[in-house]
Structure 1
């Protein structure tokens, strides 16, 4: 019997060694950043069995066979739809400034989505202003409403949004709502979900979470976009989930979430509706192209060009990080960044440092308190390098700064759902707008200035005095970079 147990133990050791060896080979041969591969190898070797399991669950970008096949078959039809936009009057590539022109060229070559002119933009920076504006537009809806969010949680003014949607459905408006399954479990268990469905609203769970699907699709792949389009004439996008901050995560100890949304009219609305249609088809298999935009613009009016930049599985890889890199590289005087989660890739980290080192003022605004312990400590592991390079780091004291924005030279900006972490840049379905509009950018810069006035700067001298335990926690959580 003792010999039998010895044989079983030896077989187990050999089996585990073969498993680790095969996973190691798989990690090494995947084409991605060397630091990500090394981090995964550390996790696999340091945490026996669990490390291998974590890699199978989270280590590779796996959309699932059915969704991946749909996405592949959709490239042609959606590419044709976007390509038609190149022929309309709102597409004025020769009138774009050099900075946006380069971003436009990148995006059109990779996605066929062009920058379009003839838009109007309104920056909304308080929850009350955002939600009341959305409610008012829903009440005016005549034909269709498309919405998608990561988190949808009832309470406060969200109940009024729900009620407005129900009334719209009753008067015949076609409503399609796509909500991430992992981000909104409370909503799908709430009475509002059932009432809205009974009213005729088509609500679908995106990337549904259950135990069976763990083996066929990466579990932490999420729909993180925030999009509303109404009658293909009005749109909203930005960083705010469909939540009322006065009623959301009040026990998390991070304060109220701080966000912005952008209200858009003009041809860019139809592009945002097409992104929603893409996501809807990937999830359901149903195709609902938006109306083609009325592309005429006033020849003497301001251009207000906007480049829509989507990313996610099934779309061109790494596009948003490329756009961010290109925008920061082009800065001549200043770059100001706000993000709640900061765990950059090596490439983005080097771009930020080099931009500061060539004399550009680079300011990074992060929340002092974060709802993610892992990200909170992993972010701090980058501070020493950034401060040494001359980057100015500020910690926002008045809540969880959730706004995702970049202002370049106070001339143009990027705003959307994208965090500066590996999850947003490499994994999730995300969306950002590149806006070349001086007045809008100035307004966003003033909002950032208000954040700055409520923040505490981190000096290089003070940061170097942090204790040994603090430094060890930074490095420990940095190892989990690929999971963040």
Structure 2
């Protein structure tokens, strides 16, 4: 019997090391950044068995066979729809500013989506203002409402939005609601689901979380977009989930979440509508392309070109990451960034450092307290080299700063759903707007300045004197940046 157990032990060890060797070979042969590969190797070897399991769950982009097949088949018909936008009179590359011109070239060549002029933009930064504006537009809806969110958390004004949707459906408006399964568990356990379905609303869980699907699809691949489109006339996107901050995560110890939304009218609405239709088909297999935008434009008015930049499985890889890098490289005076989760790739880190070393004023505003302890410590692992390169870092004390924004030279900005971490830039379904509108950008700049006034500036000399415990935790959680 002792010999049998001895043999069983040796066989188990041999099997485990064969498994580790196989996973190691797979990590090495995958084409991705060296830093990500090295991080995975560290996790695999430092955490026996658990590290290998983590790689199977989170290590590779796996949408699942049905969704992957749909996304592949969809690309041609959606590409044809996007391509028709180039014939629209609102695509005016000759009148675009230098910043957005190159982004239009990139997105048009890779995805077929051009920047379109003739939009009106409204920056909303008060939760009450945002939710009441959404309710008002829902009450005016006549034909259709399309919504996709990562989080819908019942309570407060979010319930008023749900009631407005039910009333809209009862008067004949076609309402389609797509919510991420992992982000909205409380909603899917609430009575709102049955009430909405009884009213005729199509409610769909995106990327359903289930123990049976763990090894069939990457678990942390999430539907992270926030889009509302009403009658293909009005749209919203930005950083805010469908929550009332006064009723959301009140016990987490980070304060209220600070967010923005952008209310849009004009041809960009139809592009955002198409992105929702893309997500709906990936999840359900049902295709409903929106109408093409009105191509009339008044040449005497400000044109406000906007480029919609989506990303996610089935779409061109790393498009938002490329747009971000292109925007930062074009800066001549300043770059100011707000993000709740800052765990940059090696490429983005070097871009920020090099930009500051060019003499550009680079400012980074992130929350002092984060709802993810791992992200909070991993973020701080980058402070030393950023500060040494001349980047100014501010920690925001007024709550969890959830706004995702980049302002370039006070003339051009990016706003949307994208965090400065590898999951947002490389993995999730995301969307951002590249906006060439100086008045709107100035509003965004003023809002960012108000964040700085509620922040503490990190001093490089003081930062070097932080405790050994802090340094250890920073380096420890930095190793897990592929999972953050």
Local SS of the residue matching 1:423: helix
Deviation at 1:99, TM superposition (A): 1.5
1:222 correspondence with 2:222: yes
For structure 1, the 5+ residue unaligned runs are none
Deviation at 1:98, TM superposition (A): 1.7
Aligned twin of 2:379: 379
Aligned twin of 2:468: 468
The Cα offsets for residues 229-282 of structure 1, whole Å up to 9 and x where unpaired, read as 000000000000000000000000000000000000000000000000000000
Aligned twin of 2:155: 155
Aligned twin of 1:146: 146
Aligned twin of 1:336: 336
Aligned twin of 2:310: 310
Provide the C-alpha distance between the structure 2 equivalents of 1:234 and 1:10, rounded to a whole number of angstroms: 65
Aligned twin of 1:416: 416
1:55-454 pair list within 5 angstroms:
55-454=55-454
Deviation at 1:126, TM superposition (A): 0.6
Aligned twin of 2:39: 39
Aligned twin of 2:14: 14
Local SS of the residue matching 2:182: coil
Provide the C-alpha distance between the structure 1 equivalents of 2:254 and 2:469, rounded to a whole number of angstroms: 23
Provide the C-alpha distance between the structure 1 equivalents of 2:66 and 2:331, rounded to a whole number of angstroms: 42
The Cα offsets for residues 345-390 of structure 1, whole Å up to 9 and x where unpaired, read as 0000000000000100000000000000010000000000000000
Provide the C-alpha distance between the structure 1 equivalents of 2:178 and 2:206, rounded to a whole number of angstroms: 6
Aligned twin of 1:29: 29
Local SS of the residue matching 2:308: strand
Provide the C-alpha distance between the structure 2 equivalents of 1:76 and 1:43, rounded to a whole number of angstroms: 39
For structure 2, the 5+ residue unaligned runs are none
Runs of 4 or more, structure 1, over 4 Å off, are: none
Cα RMSD (Å) of the superposition? Answer: 0.5
Provide the C-alpha distance between the structure 2 equivalents of 1:2 and 1:172, rounded to a whole number of angstroms: 74
Provide the C-alpha distance between the structure 2 equivalents of 1:284 and 1:175, rounded to a whole number of angstroms: 15
Provide the C-alpha distance between the structure 1 equivalents of 2:196 and 2:153, rounded to a whole number of angstroms: 14
Local SS of the residue matching 2:321: helix
Q: How many corresponding residue pairs? A: 484
The Cα offsets for residues 203-243 of structure 1, whole Å up to 9 and x where unpaired, read as 10000000000010001100000000000000000000000
Deviation at 1:299, TM superposition (A): 1.2
Provide the C-alpha distance between the structure 1 equivalents of 2:11 and 2:191, rounded to a whole number of angstroms: 53
Deviation at 1:40, TM superposition (A): 0.4
Provide the C-alpha distance between the structure 2 equivalents of 1:101 and 1:52, rounded to a whole number of angstroms: 45
Provide the C-alpha distance between the structure 2 equivalents of 1:330 and 1:292, rounded to a whole number of angstroms: 32
Aligned twin of 1:3: 3
Local SS of the residue matching 1:446: helix
Local SS of the residue matching 2:142: coil
Provide the C-alpha distance between the structure 2 equivalents of 1:154 and 1:23, rounded to a whole number of angstroms: 42
TM-score (norm 2): 1.00
Provide the C-alpha distance between the structure 2 equivalents of 1:47 and 1:442, rounded to a whole number of angstroms: 48
Deviation at 1:284, TM superposition (A): 0.2
Local SS of the residue matching 2:250: coil
Provide the C-alpha distance between the structure 1 equivalents of 2:234 and 2:38, rounded to a whole number of angstroms: 46
Provide the C-alpha distance between the structure 1 equivalents of 2:51 and 2:104, rounded to a whole number of angstroms: 41
Deviation at 1:93, TM superposition (A): 1.0
Deviation at 1:10, TM superposition (A): 1.1
TM-score (norm 1): 1.00
Deviation at 1:301, TM superposition (A): 1.0
